[in-house]
């Protein structure tokens, strides 16, 4: 028994002594992170760009020196945790995206850093099939951060004093403007391509919130079910579609339930 234990221990040390490790029977590579581009994109000392799987942090527009809400804080969090560190890369079904970036889950100090970004409110979900190995864990982490209004989930409340706060009846008066609308969602619909959230059952003559199904991979819930009969605040730009006002919601942290 002692001999078997010693053999197993030596095998483990050999594995840990090399440049490859194993997670649940899957090979994972050790790399050195030299540069952090933004919250969900880093670069190795070898010059490889790594896009973190399953998450999406707010964007930084380097060319115009402009950032989305919480983008700088998300980058700083990744910088403080991963820069100049050896980390482990675990892969899913696809190893590269269309831009030639490596797609990976990053492990640091024994933790899944992608999931940590979600749990601390620095990122939303971005589950792109077939890379959905940790869908359940990531959805739970995002839900807990959202319910606690951590990080990006505090956006609406943090900036509501700097924008017009209006009712849905006033929407047409603010066409082309960025506003926060407060009201109750009383009617919803889900089609093959769009989720609609309406402030009135007369949906053709009321403000509609539009969530295209291509963006549902950012949500840890089904919007048409989740928001029905809930009082909400939503951030967005009023536009007209076929004569009726609407707001297109691209990110889940643009809309929150209020008491």
The DSSP annotation for 137-200 comes to HHHHHHHHHHHHT-GGGGHHHHHGGGS-EE-GGGGGGGTT-EEEEEEE--EEEE-SSEEEEESS
In this prediction, what percent of the chain has a pLDDT beyond 90?
A: 83
In this prediction, what percent of the chain has a pLDDT beyond 70?
A: 90
Q: Give the residue among 208, 192, 210, 211 at the shortest CA–CA distance from 200.
A: 208
Looking at the structure of the chain, the number of domains it has is 2
Catalytic residues: 51, 59, 101
Residue with tokens 């949500």: 219
What are the tens digits of pLDDT across the range 54-113? Answer: 999 999 988 888 899 999 999 999 999 999 999 999 999 999 999 999 999 999 999 999
Is 247 contained in some domain?
yes
Same domain, yes or no: 138 and 177: no
d(CA 139, CA 151): 16
Q: Give the residue among 134, 130, 158, 107 at the shortest CA–CA distance from 220.
A: 134
Question: Residue 8: its pLDDT value, please?
Answer: 43
Same domain, yes or no: 207 and 142: no
Question: Residue 228: its pLDDT value, please?
Answer: 97
Question: Residue 65: its pLDDT value, please?
Answer: 81
Same domain, yes or no: 85 and 18: yes
Which of 122, 152, 182 is the C-terminal boundary of a domain? 152
What are the tens digits of pLDDT across the range 122-173? Answer: 999 999 999 999 999 999 999 999 999 999 999 999 999 999 999 999 999 9
d(CA 193, CA 181): 24
Question: Residue 203: its pLDDT value, please?
Answer: 72
DSSP conformation class of 73: H
Which of 129, 152, 175 is the C-terminal boundary of a domain? 152
d(CA 85, CA 97): 24
Spell out the alpha helix ranges (H) of the chain: 2-17, 71-82, 113-119, 135-148, 155-159, 223-226
Q: What is the CATH number of the domain that holds 168?
A: 2.40.50.140
Question: Residue 130: its pLDDT value, please?
Answer: 97
d(CA 148, CA 50): 29
Same domain, yes or no: 167 and 60: no
Is 15 contained in some domain?
yes
Which of 96, 124, 152 is the C-terminal boundary of a domain? 152
Stretch (H or E) spanning 173: none
Same domain, yes or no: 113 and 167: no
Question: Residue 170: its pLDDT value, please?
Answer: 96
Is 158 contained in some domain?
no
Domain of residue 130 covers 2-152
What's the predicted TM-score (pTM) here? 0.87
Is 157 contained in some domain?
no
Q: Give the residue among 1, 4, 6, 28 at the shortest CA–CA distance from 15.
A: 28
Same domain, yes or no: 147 and 183: no
Q: What is the CATH number of the domain that holds 115?
A: 2.40.50.90
Q: Give the residue among 141, 44, 59, 121 at the shortest CA–CA distance from 89.
A: 44
Same domain, yes or no: 167 and 239: yes
Same domain, yes or no: 247 and 212: yes
Burial zone of 219 (CB within 10 Å; 0-12 exposed, 13-18 middle, 19+ buried): buried
Question: Residue 165: its pLDDT value, please?
Answer: 97
Residue 26 — pLDDT band, cuts 50, 70, 90?
Answer: low
Same domain, yes or no: 120 and 233: no
Same domain, yes or no: 104 and 225: no
Instruction: Give residues with Cβ within 8 angstroms of 92, minimum separation 6.
Output: 53, 103, 105, 130, 131, 132, 133
- The rounded mean pLDDT for the chain is 90
Instruction: Give residues with Cβ within 8 angstroms of 43, minimum separation 6.
Output: 33, 34, 35, 36, 37, 49, 50
Is 102 contained in some domain?
yes
DSSP conformation class of 99: T
Whether 16 shows a pLDDT value over 70: the answer reads no
d(CA 101, CA 221): 29
């Amino acid at each position: 028994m002692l001999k078997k234990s010693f053999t197993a221990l030596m095998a483990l040390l050999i594995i840990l002594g090399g440049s490859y490790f194993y997670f649940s029977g899957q090979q994972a590579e050790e790399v050195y992170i030299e540069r952090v581009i933004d919250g969900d994109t880093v670069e190795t000392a070898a010059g490889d760009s790594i896009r973190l799987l399953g998450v999406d942090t707010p964007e930084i527009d380097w060319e115009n020196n402009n950032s989305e809400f919480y983008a700088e804080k998300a980058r700083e969090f990744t910088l403080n945790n991963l820069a100049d560190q050896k980390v482990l890369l675990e892969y899913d079904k696809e190893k590269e995206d269309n831009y030639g970036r490596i797609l990976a889950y990053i492990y640091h100090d024994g933790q899944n850093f992608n999931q940590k970004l979600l749990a601390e409110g620095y990122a939303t979900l971005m589950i792109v099939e077939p890379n959905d190995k940790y869908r359940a864990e990531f959805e739970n982490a995002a839900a807990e951060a959202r319910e606690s209004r951590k990080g990006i989930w505090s956006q609406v409340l943090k900036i509501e004093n700097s924008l017009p706060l209006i009712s849905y009846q006033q929407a047409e008066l603010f066409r082309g403007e960025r506003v926060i609308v407060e009201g109750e969602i009383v009617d919803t619909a889900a089609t093959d391509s769009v989720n609609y959230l309406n402030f009135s059952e007369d949906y053709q003559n009321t403000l509609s919130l539009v969530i295209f199904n291509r963006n549902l991979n950012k949500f840890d819930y089904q919007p048409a079910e989740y928001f029905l009969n809930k009082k909400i605040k939503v951030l967005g730009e009023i536009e007209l579609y076929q004569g009726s006002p609407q707001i297109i919601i691209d990110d889940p942290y643009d809309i929150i339930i209020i008491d």
